[in-house]
Amino acid sequence: MADLSARTAAEELAESVVDVVGAAARSVILHGSLAAGGFRPGRSDIDVLVVVDGGLSDPQIDALVDRVRGTPIGTAAGVDLHVVTADAAGAPTRTPPLELHVGRYDRSSVGVEVERRVTAAPDLPAELSMARADGHALRGTGPHDVIAPVPTAWINERGRHWLATWRSRTDDAEHGALMVLTACRIWRFALEGVHCAKGQAARWALDRDPSLSAVRQALHQYEVDPTAPIDEDGIAHVLDHVLRETARAR
């Protein structure tokens, strides 16, 4: 069962969004682990996608940023809020426009990051696909009515971009588990077209190849001991392995 205090926080955030955006808020969609399963208190974020008619005004953007910064989030580790127009969600492209992204990561050195009116957002198609597949509307219209299907080839292409990027960052200890577990998610989606939570993806990967020790280490760090180390060479091995596997899936 999803963590109730985090779910309450998501409901309150949805209410805040509607309060700021008003009638232009066509849908406020909860997705990610809190919606689909696999939520880990203290480790997982609240993922929310907002679909609006038209764009956001500067005061609306400022107000949404303030709401994300200040909202109580229960046992969640942070908030990932994306705002897109109904046109962008209803007719996705490889690099659709993004009205707003506010990421609040309370347990990370990043803190809060804000992106406003991004004309081309290559990571947004994956966000739309996940919200459509596993999300449900906290307010407004359901995901399938506001988000059109996203070609899997676009998502796989972007996933491989990140695998190659992370290959040069295996010494980043703070984000090692994130890289490994997300690589497992990319791998499973490329082979099966299934979006899943980090822990589920890691177990799926270990069922396919138990020798991937860095996956086991990352899962242990994510679920049990945040201070547990992950072998740098093992991270590189996982990334190389998933790059090969996803190349075959294209």
C-alpha dihedral over 135, 139, 140, 142, to 10 degrees?
A: 20
Average pLDDT, the chain: 94
Sign, CA torsion 157/171/47/98: negative
pTM for this predicted structure: 0.92
User: What values do phi and psi take at 241, rounded to 5?
Assistant: -60, -45
Question: What pLDDT score does 106 carry?
Answer: 82
pLDDT tier at 3, thresholds 50, 70, 90: low
CA distance 72 to 9: 6
Predicted confidence (pLDDT) at residue 57 exceeds the cutoff of 80: yes
> Under 8 Å CB-to-CB from 153, ≥6 apart: which residues?
250
pLDDT tens digits, residue range 180-228? 999 999 999 999 999 999 999 999 999 999 999 999 999 999 999 999 9
Residue 141: closest CA among 240, 246, 18: 18
Nearest to 130 by CA among 89, 162, 96: 89
